[in-house]
């Protein structure tokens, strides 16, 4: 895992900082763990665009990743692979009974290492245990929110959370955003940090690489006409001319909090905004 810079042989190359992929051990995925992935272009089942700025991009196949980590027994890491559908690396693991699964690759796990699941396995990198069985201070990722549903938090490249305390059937964890949140102690998590730490330092360098990823251009509202966007109109470079930025449809934008889940407010001890 590392980065490489290019000589400025063209304007696009000048600012490119790319992944060197040296941690990848194979370029052929496990066929039995592949599934079709159909593009939507940001459109729903009625053909209407519901998410703007999507379309095109390189063809992909989905890798079926085991986020539950519910299979007992020890598995050996067979390869570290690139996954076009996520920022982290994935690891192909082989169980003693011959079953193969993909997992989110923890940072530092290499070919030949072993990983396991269960509350009786060691607290070592790549092993999965329930939050209640982990000592305080343990760094974890791939954290469940509902027991048995599979990991939903801290799964992207370099993500890591920390177990802070245990109390009355709940475990307090500190999420990558700084939020402090209680989760049921029966939820599982994987020990360690997610791989591909340098992902945040990559620079695409040119618009074409973003198109390869399936993103279309984004046009600023301030350069549109007043009929097309609330920020549009005016002579030259005009301000938005209103008490706060708006979306294309007149709703408040940029930093407005949209959380409405009052049911789980009692589990959040500190919001990420309160750091």
Closest CA to 123 of 112, 107, 137: 137
Q: Are strands 188-191 and 139-141 parallel, antiparallel or unpaired?
A: antiparallel
Termini Cα distance of the chain = 31
Residue 8: give its domain's CATH number.
2.40.50.140
Write down the pLDDT at residue 275. Answer: 62
Please indicate, yes or no, if residue 226 is contained in any of the structural domains: no
What percent of the chain has pLDDT above 70? 99
Tens digit of each residue's pLDDT (9 = 90 or more) over 169-211: 999 999 999 999 999 999 999 999 999 999 999 999 999 999 9
Confidence of residue 241 (pLDDT cuts 50, 70, 90): confident
Residue 132: domain span: 3-200
Cβ–Cβ < 8 Å for 108, 192: yes
Please indicate, yes or no, if residue 70 is contained in any of the structural domains: yes
Please indicate, yes or no, if residue 223 is contained in any of the structural domains: no
Please indicate, yes or no, if residue 176 is contained in any of the structural domains: yes
Please indicate, yes or no, if residue 222 is contained in any of the structural domains: no
Count the helix, strand and coil residues of the chain and give each as a percent rounded to the nearest 5: 10, 30, 60
Please indicate, yes or no, if residue 225 is contained in any of the structural domains: no
Write down the pLDDT at residue 2. Answer: 87
pLDDT of 273 strictly over 90? no
What Cα–Cα distance (Å) separates residue 151 from each residue in 18, 27, 79, 179, 215?
29, 26, 21, 17, 27
Q: What is the reported pTM? A: 0.91
- Spell out a b/e string for 214-253, using b for 16 or more CB atoms within 10 Å of the CB, else e: bbbeeeebbeeeeeebbbbeeeeeeeeeeeeebeeeeeee
Average pLDDT across the chain, whole number: 95
What percent of the chain has pLDDT above 90? 93
For residue 10, the tally of other CB atoms under 10 A from its CB is 11
Please indicate, yes or no, if residue 85 is contained in any of the structural domains: yes
| Count of structural domains, the chain | 1
Please indicate, yes or no, if residue 49 is contained in any of the structural domains: yes
Confidence of residue 1 (pLDDT cuts 50, 70, 90): low
Tokens of 249: 């449809």
């Amino acid at each position: 895992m590392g980065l490489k810079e290019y000589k400025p042989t063209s304007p696009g190359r000048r600012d490119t900082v790319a992944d060197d992929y040296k941690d990848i051990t194979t370029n052929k995925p496990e066929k039995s763990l592949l599934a079709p992935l159909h593009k939507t272009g940001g459109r729903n089942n009625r053909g209407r665009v519901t998410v703007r700025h999507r379309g095109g991009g390189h063809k992909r196949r989905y890798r079926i990743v085991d986020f539950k980590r519910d299979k007992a027994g020890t598995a050996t890491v067979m390869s570290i692979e690139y996954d076009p559908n996520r920022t982290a690396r994935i690891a192909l693991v082989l169980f003693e009974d011959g079953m193969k699964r993909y997992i989110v690759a923890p940072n530092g796990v290499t070919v030949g290492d072993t990983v396991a699941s269960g509350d009786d396995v060691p607290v070592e990198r790549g092993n999965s245990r329930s939050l209640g069985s982990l000592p305080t201070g343990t760094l974890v990722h791939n954290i469940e929110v509902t027991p048995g549903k599979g990991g939903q938090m801290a799964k992207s490249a370099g993500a890591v959370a920390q177990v802070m305390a245990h109390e009355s059937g709940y475990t307090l964890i500190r999420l990558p955003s700084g939020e402090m949140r209680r989760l049921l102690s029966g939820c599982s998590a994987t020990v360690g940090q997610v791989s591909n730490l340098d992902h945040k330092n990559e620079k695409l360098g040119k618009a074409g690489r973003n198109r390869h990823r399936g993103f279309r251009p984004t046009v600023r509202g301030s350069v549109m006409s007043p009929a097309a966007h609330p920020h549009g109109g005016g002579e030259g470079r005009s301000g938005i001319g209103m008490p706060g930025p708006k979306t294309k449809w007149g709703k408040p934008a940029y930093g407005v909090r949209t959380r409405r889940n009052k049911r789980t407010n009692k589990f959040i001890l500190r919001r990420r905004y309160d750091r």
